[in-house]
Structure 1
Amino acid sequence: MTTGSEYLARLRERERAKRVAESKERAFKLALRLRPEIFLAGELKPAPAPQAPDVIEPVKSAIFTAPVEEVEPLEPPAPKVWVRDIVAIVGRRHLTSSSSIVGASRRREVVRARMEAYYLAAALSGLSISQVAKRIGGRDHTTVLHGVDVFAARHGLPKYNQISRSQALDILERGVL
């Protein structure tokens, strides 16, 4: 006989395993695009995704008869995304070099690419704004904060610390539509 708390624990574990597998797969695909030579040399192979049970038994208890409420699942630890990789991807999408994004250029297309890199680095890298500023051209943290705010406002996005990781990864992979 399964209790309500056991059922919820199994449900949470299944959802967590699913999110971890999706996150690992996205990180692997991103790494494969950035550094295919590592994978072609056979040095690194994708980790097999953890298998979650296909069927969760329904609760069969006279004590637990209330419907199960939706529980917000815990966020799995996410693979690290490097600032230099973010700058490289954004540079490719905007047809500009990483060095110009990190450099002092004030050309409109470079500045827009730089603001996108600020936003994504702040959202995905887990670094503070000051650390992001140091890694993207050694700028002042207020410059990065301004760039992040302008990028979010221009594209109707939430603040960098309120966006979900999956939304930020989508922006990194596909760009802002």
Structure 2
Amino acid sequence: GGANADEVNDDMMWYSLRGLRQIRPTSYPGMTVISAKIRGADRLSAQSESQVNLEATRILPLRSGGAWQAPAPTRDIVPWVLNVLKSLGYTDADIDLEEFDRLHASCVADGQLYDETIDASSIAKEALNNALACGWAELTIANGLIRPVRDEPRAVFEREYGPKTQTYSPQNMT
């Protein structure tokens, strides 16, 4: 705009965004609290990107006492992993929930959280292992169940070791 049609201003300052609701709801069941879509060009500049900020907390179904609970805000690792597994079509029968509950208790006790923002496509197993790595664990399949295995000492061995499994031969050394 202006008197001269050749005048161009490509710098913009966004100081704040506010909205006013006359009636304020106390909750938004089944909804995201805030969603913002900003379109300026193909991408935001580094300067603008550093000025856009959000502290998000996921609302996911939780487990407590071996049972599913109502969705609640969480930054924990295991609820996110279980939510992704369920969204991929796995059922409770496909998942070692007892082991996930044990991992969850360990991660909560250690204060381990998962706050990564995934903004690019990736393989589901890779994303799940990235989340589990925050709790020193990785995804495995044992006896047909999806199960996390945490890098920690175990008091009880899950496999019995005997002379056949402890013997080295040329066949099992290669």
TM-score of the aligned structures, taking structure 2 as reference length: 0.28
| Pair member with larger Rg | 2
- Higher RCO structure, 1 or 2 (CA under 8 Å, sep 6+): 1
More strand by share: 2
